[in-house]
Every structure is written in structure tokens, then in C-alpha cells.
Amino acid sequence: MSIIKVEGLSKVFGKNTKQALKMLEEGKTKEEILKLTNSTVGVNRTSFSVEAGEIFVIMGLSGSGKSTLVRLLNRLIDPTEGKVYIDGENLAAMNKKDLRRVRRTKMSMVFQNFALFPYLTVLDNAAYGLEIQGIDKVERNEKAKKSLEMVGLGGYLEQLPAQLSGGMQQRVGLARALANDPEVMLMDEAFSALDPLIRKEMQDELLDLQETMKKTIIFITHDLDEALRIGDKIALMKDGSIVQVGTPEEILVNPANDYVKKFVQDVDRSKVLTAFNIMKRPETINIDKHGPRVALERMKEEGISSIYVTDSKRNLKGYVTADDASLALKADLKSLVTILKTDAPTVTKETLMNAIFEISHNSTVPITVVEDGKLLGIIVRGAVISALAGQSEVNRNHA
Amino acid sequence: MLNFMENIPEIPLAPYVSKFTSWISDTFAFLFDPLKNEFGDGLEDFADMLAAVPPVIIILIVALIAFFISGKRIGLASFSLVGLLLVWNQGLWEELMLSFTLVLVASLLSIVIGVPIGILMSKSKAAESIITPILDFMQTMPAFVYLIPAVAFFSIGMVPGIFASLIFATPPTVRFTNLGIRQVSKELVEASEAFGSTGAQKLFKVELPMAKPTIMAGINQTVMLSLSMVVIASMIGAPGLGREVLSALQRADVGTGFVAGLGIVILAIIIDRFTQSFTGKKRV
């Protein structure tokens, strides 16, 4: 069920907004509109929906309109046109009172530079959203304390924000957003001000928290690696428009246009592509039907020095090498059982490329991709390297 | 040709202003008269009350407060002690209390009027563009000029002194309040709004606390300007140390003038340090 639904949402900054909107309809570019009307297009007729419980990442370079877009979602910025449905209510058309109710109970926000109140203690900061609602002190402190404990700051209740490190300050920001138990959390470049190590730690922690909380999170970032790491879905923005929405894999594997392609070419693919994406159909022989002679012939045909062996139900049994097979043939053995080797490296189809890389480096035979004992495919070392280089066609996961 | 001004009659600006002032004075007499009488009596009562307290008690209290607000250092405390004792010794204690009353009341009124106007300015661009030139006018017009309408409205004494002081000393509080609120980081304001604050909650829970150091700096200036105006206001009969300076000036009595002036300096320094200590230098 989608919890947020955005329809034709636009924001034009400036005076001639009507004219600018009309020009957008006519297909004029942002630059032309700026020149002709002196108005800046922040967000250009975007539509998307976000499912409950997913992390929806909006990503783009600075000036792409992503920060404006997220502020349109809780109306920190009023939209020029379009609708924002939260739980079926159109936020864009709400009066102030209803808007406050939605902000208080349904959505909260985490900011790039933390936006903590420097004169309030950590506890009071985390309790701010509850205090605004007029919840009495005992209850709000208890809730705030709980959410601070969730982010690992249970021991810092009476400190002032200035006494904490950046990472800890953002945890307070996170705790403040969690304290009023919202359905939707808007995170505006929430980890961008943190140094890379802390950023990664916070990403992990967010994912851990998400395991139990199952909030709907709209996460803004300019960092593609971050987007790919935490996003269930990614919307890529350029010049105020959403260029593509999809899972991280779809974006990488199937870029909608040259802009997205260019954007993703520098990404660290090893952290996104899985075994499934780069495996190929294996040459196999059947242990129940075939002996060393067939094995040797198959290997000769394919120009390979080892071959995987399965049973009739494609359960992986092991592999045989060309050397062993020819010795067995000379010894006139009929079965493959005695020369079967079972030390083949095995991964699942979800294993990430960077793990596979390590394994393939230490292995002389192709890596097997196995699910429930069945051989799905194999990965040869060349495939790993060309996939990392971004040169190969990769399998698209529609599972 | 360069003398074209000769052909243009002089605009009777000064008579206009005079007429306008007396019109205000007549029209609002029902307002000014009770202010002049009741408020003036109240001020005198307050000053009398202060003067009735044995000076040594006030001096000790001030020195004690000075000790604590300066972080338990004795510099300001001993200065207050010695300075106030000296004023007492010079027989200027009553004048000091009168001057202090004037400064206190004028400053409080300036703050009560100035802070809300500053808030209004920070919230509305229109208000800012209207009020800013008025503030410029109020601050650049020579302070003495305000004495004239002050006399017209309130005759002589403490009340016109406070009136002139209000006009002269309120602008910094207004300006700094406006500045302080506008300087609050956009993200903090957004954070407050994103959690569903009402306008008042945003103002009192975020904007004013964040702007407090800046507002206090403005208030400090306002207090200092009130003090300088209180001295000038002695020309229209405001009592206190200023009057001593003025009478010494008229008699070319250097010694008396200097002593009374010194009293003002001592009062100024103590008030300045006291108000500055509220400027929000929080000990972390």
C-alpha cells in the first residue's frame, strides 16, 4: 500500500509562476524559463508513490531540486501546483491546523546539519516534537528517553548538543524524529555532514533500526553509494524532474537514459551487483547417466578444464577435472563417483560482488551459485572482472 | 541661472512642525496630563524609596551581585563597592538614585516597546522597510531636538526626560531583535516547523532563545543610550547627576562638574557590566 502519493508536483520560485508552469507544459527548459520569466523551476511535475515501510531515496546533484522536493512533502515549502497525498489526505490543500496535525503525528524530519536546539539538553531536544504537542513532561521525557536509547545515547540525556560529536548529534536528530513515532521520516542529507566512516556506521544503524521499526523513510542524498546501500527504491533527479525511479539494481543495470548511465558509471558496482547478475548457465554432466568419457568430450567441446556434476534433479554433486577424467578413462572406470571433487567454492545468488571477487581470486575452478542444493549457475573469474569494470551485460533480476 | 533658488519661496517647514507639535500636545492632552502627573509622581516615589534605603545596604547588595555575575571574581565587585562609596561620600547619593530610576524606567519601557517592534520587523518585510528609515531618523536626529517636543507634551521634569530617552534609546533594541531573529539558522526554524510548531511556539521556543544573545547586546546599547540621554535631559529639568553637571557647567565649576561626571561614569560601568553579564555567555 502506498503511504505517500505525489501527483504532478511542481515548485516555481519567483513571481511569474503561472507563466513558468505554462512554459513547462510547453516543454521549455529550466534555463529558458529563467531567462524569459525570471522564475526558477525547483521541482518540475514530479509524480511517484512510496510504499509503507520502504526506504525511498531521492538522489541527485546539488541544484537538482531534491531538497526542495522533500520540503514540498511536509510543506515547509508550499507547492506551486500538484498534490501530495499522505494516507489519502492531500497535504497541498490542507489548512494550517490540519497541516500541523499531520506534521505532529505522521511525519518528522532529520536535517543535514542536525538542527538541534543548542540551548536544550539532549533529552529536551529529543522531546521537542512531543512538547510541541502539549504532552506532559513525564510522558514526553519517557518517550524521548526511549528513542535516545534506541540510537545508543541513553547515557547522554543531560548533555548539551555542543558537547557531542557530529555523529552523536545526528543520533539526537534521529531520536527526536523517532520520538513522536511518525509513519514517515524525511531525512534531508542526514548523513552528508558526517565523515565517511561515521556515515557508514550511521547507514548501518539506520538499516538495523529499520529492521525493527519499519518506518517509511524518504532519504535525500547526493551520494550514489549511499543511495544504493540503503535504498529499497531510488528516484534519480535532474533539473527538478525525476529521471528514473527503480530499485538500486534497476538503476544500475538498466539506466533510463544517458544521464543516469553517466551518473552510475563511477559507482562501486561490487557493492551492488550480486552473484545472480554475473553468473552464467553452467555446462554440467549428469552423474547418473554420464561417465568419464562424456565428461572429457564435453570439456573438450567447451574448451574448459573442469566440469560440474549434478544429479537428474540438478542438485550439485561436485566437479571433475580433465586430468582426473582421462586417468579414469585409462583405468577403464565407468563412474564419476571416485574422481568427484566436492571442494568447489559456493555462493548464493544474493552474494555481493566484492565477496565473490575474493573467492574467485583464490579458486582454480569457477564459483558455483547454489540455492537449496541446486546449481543455478557458475561464475568464471573473467566475468567478475568485466562486471567490476562495468563492461559486461549483466543479468536482470526480476525475481 | 545658478541662483534659481532665489525665485522659490522658502517652504515653511519649521512652522509646520511647530504647529503639528502643538496640535498633538493639545489633542492628546488628556493622555499626556495624567502621564505627566501620575507617572511622574510614581517615579519620584520610587526614587524616594530607593533613597530611603540606607546606602550601605544597596552598596553591599550591588557588590554581592557583581561578585556572582562576574563568575566569583572580585574585580567588578570591588569596583562597585569603592565607586558607590565614593559617590555616597561626595554627597551625590540621592542624585545617583534619581539617575538610576530614570535609566531603569526608560530602559524597561524601551525594551517593552522595542522587542515586540523588532519581532514584528523580523516577521514582515513590509514592516521592516517602513520601520528601518524611522529608526535611522530617530538615531541620527541630534538628541537635544527631542527635548523640545518632550517639554511641549510633558512640560519639565522626569517624564519628558524619559520620553526623550525612549525615542533616542529604543532603536538598538528594535534593530538587534530584528537582526537576532533573522539570523536564526533556517534549519532550526524548519526543524521547529517540521514538528508542527505553531507560530507562537516557534517564536518562544526557538527564535527568541536563539536570538537572545543578540537581543541582549541591543538592550545593553539601549541602556547605555538611556543613561546618556538622562544626562542630556537635565536640560529640561530631569533631576539627578546630570543636573549637577549642568549647574557646574553654568557656574564654570570644574571640580563639582568632574565629581558629578565621575558619578555618571561609575553608574555607567556598573550598569554596563551588569547588563552584559546577561548577554548569554553560558558556561558550558
Å between B104 CA and nearest CA of chain A? 29
Q: Where in chain A is the domain with CATH 3.40.50.300?
A: 2-106+182-267
pLDDT at A398: 42
Identify each DSSP E strand in B64-182 by its residue range.
Answer: none
| CATH fold group of domain A2-106+182-267 | Rossmann fold (3.40.50)
pLDDT at B41: 85
pLDDT at A390: 62
Domain ranges of chain B: 14-52+90-276
**Least CB–CB distance from A117: residue in B193, B201, B206:** B206
What ipTM is given for this predicted complex? 0.77
**What does DSSP say about strands A89-90 and A81-86: parallel, antiparallel, or unpaired?**
antiparallel
**Least CB–CB distance from A115: residue in B188, B205, B282:** B188
Q: Is the Cβ–Cβ distance between B205 and B191 less than 8 Å?
A: no
Grid cell at residue B4? 534659481
pLDDT at B283: 38
pLDDT digits (tens, 9 = 90+) for B197-251: 999 999 999 999 999 999 999 999 999 999 988 888 888 888 888 889 999 989 9
pLDDT at A391: 57
Q: Where in chain A is the domain with CATH 3.10.580.10?
A: 275-388
Q: Average per-residue pLDDT in chain B?
A: 88
| Reported CATH class of domain B14-52+90-276 | mainly alpha
Q: Which residues have C-beta within 8 Å of that of residue B78, sequence separation ≥ 6?
A: B63
Q: Is the Cβ–Cβ distance between B266 and B84 less than 8 Å?
A: yes
pLDDT at B279: 67
Q: Do A115 and B185 count as a contact with CB atoms less than 8 A apart? A: yes
At B124, the pLDDT band (50, 70, 90 cuts) reads: very high
Question: What kind and span of H or E run contains A376?
Answer: strand A374-379
Q: Do A109 and B201 count as a contact with CB atoms less than 8 A apart? A: no
b/e map B96-117, b = 16+ CB within 10 Å? bbbbbbbbbbbbebbbeebbeb
Q: Do A109 and B187 count as a contact with CB atoms less than 8 A apart? A: no
pLDDT at A399: 38
Report, at the CATH architecture level, how domain A275-388 is classified: Roll (3.10)
Å between A192 CA and nearest CA of chain B? 15
Q: Do B284 and A163 count as a contact with CB atoms less than 8 A apart? A: yes
Give, for all 399 residues of chain A, the pLDDT tens digit: 789 999 999 999 988 888 888 888 888 888 888 888 888 899 999 999 999 999 999 998 888 899 999 999 999 999 999 999 999 899 999 999 999 999 999 999 999 999 999 999 999 999 999 999 999 999 999 999 999 998 889 899 999 999 999 889 999 999 999 998 999 999 999 999 888 888 888 999 999 999 888 899 999 999 888 888 899 999 999 889 999 999 888 888 888 888 888 877 777 677 777 888 888 888 888 888 888 888 888 888 888 888 898 888 888 888 888 888 888 888 888 888 888 888 888 888 888 887 887 787 778 888 888 888 888 888 887 777 777 666 555 665 443
Question: What kind and span of H or E run contains A371?
Answer: strand A367-371
Å between A153 CA and nearest CA of chain B? 19
Q: Determine the Cα–Cα distance for residues B276 and B284; give it in Å rounded to an integer.
A: 18
Q: How many residues are recorded in chain B?
A: 284
Q: Is the pLDDT of residue B142 over 60?
A: yes
Q: Which residues have C-beta within 8 Å of that of residue B156, sequence separation ≥ 6?
A: B236, B237
pLDDT at B284: 34
pLDDT at A84: 94
**Least CB–CB distance from A76: residue in B194, B198, B205:** B194
